[in-house]
Homo-oligomer: A and B are copies of this chain.
């Protein structure tokens, strides 16, 4: 009997996160690296017997043309985030993945993202035509690679905020809009979601873009007996907020102000330098503090593109809180992490957990994955420890 194979379909397949994910997966298959950063490798999740790394196959959509190995080498030499010798030993596998990456769509992604795109990317098709084309790509991937199930993960650059308020609540009402380009406010991330779900794939939105957030798309997932989750991977500064803010709440130390400054220089940073795209991101980073803390502190979040830093995201947070007797005190932290390297293992974890949820027959929003996201769909709990408990409870109930 043929082995069960699982597909990982990356939207933004040649970007920093996707390239790091792909190199990492190949390196895991070859035993070149350890399991640091992979939540699914912890004992409490290993007992669920997630799919082995050897059984994953990568494909994806992308709007830029560049060989995966070249992009990886660029990450290695510009940012010193990957070991060049690891990349060299993965080159032939990366070359085999390149032809499986198809042209994506630019619908409502904004001018900054569109400006990065190759000429070949279709710009005239209607949303409905785009969805059909993307579905075809997914179907062909599954067929050619003999794949049992595909998990689609959006790791493309952040889109400008979409006007989601005007969207209809049901799939029956939303579907016809796809044929009317002018009236369809769905951005690319949502078209990928629709294509994935229609095709029976699982869909994960690792970005703050709209993706599968609309109620009508959630309904589609349930109609098609499949599943989805998002949004915006919680990798660095926001992870720390969700870990630290509960401490202040539990010790009854009112936070007066929480200022966070983020600087980094990768492509995502460049896209976020566009104020429209930045808006979605900042909102996602800022939202949770008010929900965790009973008080509403003054908050400020900035994200700046500083080219020299490359993929090294540095965050400085300054937390001003009131102690006993009204004495003001301060905590500051400085986080120096590699954005793509923090995100990549979570992408692999999410694919594994989505696949496990499928085996268990779960459909709709996978709320037990809340700890992975800055703005988890359908979850009001933002404290990291409680979110993580949801994951462990889910694993225990398996």
Contacts and interface: CB of A to CB of B under 8 A. Distances in A.
How many monomers of this chain does the complex have?
Answer: 4
Tell me if A's interface is mostly helix, strand, loop or mixed.
mixed
A312 to B, nearest CB: 9
Residue from the set A37, A345, A386 with the largest chain B CB neighbour count within 10 Å: A37
24 contacts: A36-B324, A36-B326, A37-B251, A37-B322, A39-B250, A39-B251, A39-B252, A81-B325, A83-B326, A243-B244, A250-B384, A257-B263, A257-B306, A261-B302, A298-B306, A302-B302, A316-B318, A323-B345, A324-B344, A324-B345, A325-B341, A331-B335, A332-B336, A333-B334
Interface stretch (A7-15, A20-28, A123-131, A358-366): A20-28
B320 A306 contact: yes
Given A308-B328, A330-B336, 7 more contacts: A37-B252, A243-B243, A247-B384, A250-B388, A257-B307, A257-B308, A324-B342
A85 B83 contact: no
A286 to B, nearest CB: 14
Interface string A325-358: 1111111111111100110110000000000000
A6 interface: no
Contact of A83 (B20, B314, B323, B325): B325
Contacts of A326: 33-34, 36, 83
Contact of A338 (B33, B39, B244, B323): B323
Contact of A334 (B27, B247, B308, B331): B331
Interface in A236-259: 239-240, 243-244, 246-247, 250-254, 256-257, 259
Interface of A: 20, 23-24, 27, 33-39, 41-42, 77, 80-86, 239-240, 243-244, 246-247, 250-254, 256-257, 259, 261, 263, 297-298, 300, 302, 304, 306-309, 314, 316, 318, 320, 322-338, 341-342, 344-345, 371, 383-386, 388
B253 A36 contact: yes
Q: Which 10 A-B residue pairs are closest in the complex by CB-CB distance?
A: A37-B324, A256-B308, A385-B385, A333-B333, A324-B345, A257-B308, A329-B337, A330-B336, A332-B334, A36-B322
B323 A385 contact: no
Given A259-B263, A306-B320, A325 B252 contact: no
Nearest to A45: B252
A331 B24 CA distance: 23
Contacts of A341: 323-325, 327, 329
Considering residues A247, A329, A383, which has the most beta carbons from chain B within 10 angstroms of its beta carbon?
A329
A27 to B, nearest CB: 7
